[in-house]
């Protein structure tokens, strides 16, 4: 997300049903006067689709030989993502975070699904996201996230990605792992590895650092990455579709710039809006609100194996 992009690369899109915004229909678990009441409710086909997402870790890959070190199926009854695992993304200057609402109104759980909403309210764009920064980070392992785009909007930008904690240097020297991104209403998702070697030294093509892959945007899909000390293997529905490898022939700074993936990273789930001169493009105000849903998140490491630096629970 904190990234330099080429116009030819496009972002992640897996979409579906219609969602409306009704400020008079908060979830029952909240007081009417609560400022944290989720106000976006599903309508049309989305209620039927939500039934598909309440069956636990369906379509998850095999766990044989792995230990689950972090997971969330968003089945909590509070309507708020588990505060022991997640924090709201903060508003900042980067394109993906400039409209962050820092509100559970737009980042809430319902029927076993995390809902991340983007909307326009009183002439202001509001977006959403949650992250594990300061609460969970790890080095090496397998990440899987089941997600869909319940309402796609021109100008929207959704992501499942990882950033270093703490960053050893400024971006992109410390690396970034984009497990999945989606923009606008495309029929492809985008998977990207970021480093100084790739983004600033123009070596992206030679290392298979990015790719765009067709998906059925009407469906739930499982996006993942298996991260070892020598490779990043990106998966869609359990199938490896792209790999980025460590170049062991490099030495010194070149080696660090090419492979800055030997320290802990944390997870981010975000739904943002672009605008003119951004990768996501102009925003269709008439189509808002938009909805990005996550069914579950799981992180695993090989059982009984020292998988690099142990994961960190801060």
Residue range 105-142, pLDDT digits in tens? 999 999 999 999 999 999 999 999 999 999 999 999 99
Give residue 58's pLDDT.
62
> Which tops the pLDDT comparison, 292 or 314?
292
CB 156 within 8 A of CB 79: no
Q: What is the pLDDT of residue 217?
A: 86
pLDDT-derived band at 205, boundaries 50, 70, 90: confident
Distance CA 31, CA 165 (A): 36
* Residue 137 parent element (H or E): none
Contact 195, 232 (CB under 8 A): no
Per-residue confidence band for 226, with pLDDT thresholds at 50, 70 and 90: very high
Residue 231 burial (CB count, 10 A)? 14
Q: What is the pLDDT of residues 93-110, one digit of tens each?
A: 998 999 999 999 999 999
DSSP labels, 219-232: S-EEEEEEE-SSEE
| pLDDT for res 203 | 87
End-to-end CA distance of the chain: 24
In the predicted structure, residue 51 carries a pLDDT above the cut 80: no
């Amino acid at each position: 997300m904190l990234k330099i992009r080429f116009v030819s690369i496009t972002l992640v899109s897996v979409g579906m049903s219609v969602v409306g915004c009704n400020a008079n229909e908060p979830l029952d678990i909240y007081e009417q006067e609560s400022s944290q009441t989720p106000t976006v409710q599903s309508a049309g086909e989305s209620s039927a689709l939500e039934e598909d997402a309440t069956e636990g870790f369906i379509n998850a890959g095999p766990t044989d030989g792995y230990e689950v070190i972090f997971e969330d199926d968003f089945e909590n009854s509070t309507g708020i993502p588990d505060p022991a695992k997640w924090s709201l993304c903060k508003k900042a200057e980067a394109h993906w975070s400039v409209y962050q609402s820092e509100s559970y109104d737009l980042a809430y759980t319902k029927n076993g699904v995390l809902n991340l909403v983007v909307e326009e309210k009183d002439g202001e764009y509001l977006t959403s996201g949650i992250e594990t920064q300061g609460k969970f980070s790890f080095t090496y392992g397998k990440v899987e996230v089941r997600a869909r785009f319940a309402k796609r909007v021109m100008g929207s930008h959704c992501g499942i990605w990882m950033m270093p904690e703490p960053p050893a240097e400024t971006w992109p020297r410390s690396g970034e792992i984009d497990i999945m991104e989606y923009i606008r209403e495309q029929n492809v998702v985008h998977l990207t590895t970021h480093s100084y070697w790739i983004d600033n030294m123009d070596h992206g093509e030679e290392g298979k650092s990015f790719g765009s892959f067709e998906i059925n945007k009407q469906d739930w899909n499982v996006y993942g990455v298996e991260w070892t000390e020598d490779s990043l293997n990106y998966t869609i529905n359990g199938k490896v579709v792209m790999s980025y490898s460590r170049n062991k022939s490099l030495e010194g700074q070149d080696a660090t710039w090419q492979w800055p993936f030997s320290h802990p990273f944390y997870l981010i789930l975000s739904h943002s809006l672009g605008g003119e001169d951004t990768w996501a493009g102009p925003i269709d105000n008439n189509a808002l609100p938009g909805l990005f849903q996550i069914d579950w998140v799981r992180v695993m490491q090989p059982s009984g194996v020292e998988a690099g630096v142990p994961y960190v629970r801060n």
